[in-house]
Amino acid sequence: MQYELTTPCTAADLAPLKAGDTVLLSGVVYTARDQAHKRMLEALDKGEKLPFDLEGSAIYYVGPTPERPGEVIGSAGPTTSGRMDAMSPRLLDLGNKIMIGKGKRDAAVKEAVVRSGAVYLAALGGAGALMAQSVKTLEVIAWPDLGCEAVRRLTVEKMPLTVILDAHGGDLYTSGPAAYLETVK
């Protein structure tokens, strides 16, 4: 199935999604990689406010390249999501609903996705130029000293994504290969 979603999203918005579905995502998406995640957790530990509201948020694990003249963003391909695994469950428990990246996630992230009614979506690795075409506006909103890892607020339109982890425990990295093997028996 293919779905069109607009952020912010609720657990009810995401409940129909199943691992393997495609999503065209529009609305506000925040960028945050390793260093931004570390700073967000440090801020939470100090009781400080985060640079954006986690409730219903979408976080894209990307460190975009500089934009060319006349472009909103440079190449915007996903980074490996596993590097955020230790930090993601806490953000999910605080309201983050969509994570976007590439690669497998650990058991704690999978449990937090189900517990919080969230999803993990994959962006096409190696297709940063394609992903960038969905970005309509960009604003650095926190930690510009992190360079490409600064937190950015993107406005996206119909960003093409695939559901990897759904809120019901579905995992495309498990079900996809199993389904394929059934077809070659």
**Tokens representing 156?**
């996206």
Q: What are phi and psi of 2, to 5 degrees?
A: -120, 135
**Tokens representing 73?**
């963003």
Say which of 33, 37, 105, 110 is annotated catalytic.
37
| 37 given a catalytic annotation | yes
The DSSP letter of residue 87 is T
Task: For residues 56 and 96, give the distance between their C-alpha atoms in angstroms, rounded to a whole number.
Answer: 5
**Tokens representing 41?**
């957790």
CB 118 within 8 A of CB 101: no
Catalytic residue list? 37
